[in-house]
Amino acid sequence: DTEVTQTPKHLVMGMTNKKSLKCEQHMGHRAMYWYKQKAKKPPELMFVYSYEKLSINESVPSRFSPECPNSSLLNLHLHALQPEDSALYLCASSQGWVGVAKNIQYFGAGTRLSVL
Amino acid sequence: AQSVAQPEDQVNVAEGNPLTVKCTYSVSGNPYLFWYVQYPNRGLQFLLKYITGDNLVKGSYGFEAEFNKSQTSFHLKKPSALVSDSALYFCAVRDGVTGGGNKLTFGTGTQLKVEL
């Protein structure tokens, strides 16, 4: 089973709202990722968590706040977003240190976010 | 930094004909290369990877890719295209390891359209 589950599938929020995206995997993976993807463009890496610790933040604005409560769960907290933040947000996971350079990232279906 | 290039924004193929989606890479050291496919409003699905070994890599859904070191290419191929193969295809290269996670750099994507 290579399933990464993201909820919600769609989210509409105003610029003053606070919302959260959720990502879950039960493959025993120890690395988890958030990506942002605009239409017809490649995914852009936002954050990497490795063994529940933040290991990469690609200079993402502070209105995006990641959290990794445990090895199976990854959240992305959203606050005071801008319309240009509207995009597909993808979560991915990979195994961790075992063969790390060769590991496959498995992606969820994404959350389609619209900021009004 | 490592990079990949996908020179074609779109490839059109008739059903039943062979298809090729091109990717070239630029790396220092050993290349770790991946192909992903994305259907509309979905996440990325892993197709295949090249780490070391045989230059012809077989993957999911009848796809294969040919690694060519002298031409620094990793083209995706399928002997007989299906209409259901119509999707957005991304080539990616492992661009660093951090903690237990690996960082991928994606190409710009190639839209494949298979027509009857």
Identify whether the C-beta of residue A40 lies closer than 8 Å to the C-beta of residue B111: yes
B97: nearest CA in chain A?
A101
pLDDT (0 to 100) of residue A1: 59
Residues 6+ apart with CB under 8 A from B29: none
Residues of chain B with pLDDT under 50: none
Quote the Cα angle for B27-A43-B114, to 5°: 95
Burial class (CB in 10 A: 0-12, 13-18, 19+), A55: middle
Q: Is the pLDDT of residue A100 over 70?
A: no
Name the minimum distance, in Å, from the CA of A37 to any CA of chain B. 10
Question: For residue range A33-85, what is the model confidence (pLDDT) as tens digits?
Answer: 999 999 999 999 999 999 999 998 999 999 999 999 999 999 999 999 999 99
With contacts defined as CB-CB under 8 Å, which chain B residues touch A50?
A: 98-101
pLDDT per position as a tens digit, B85-102:
999 999 999 887 766 678
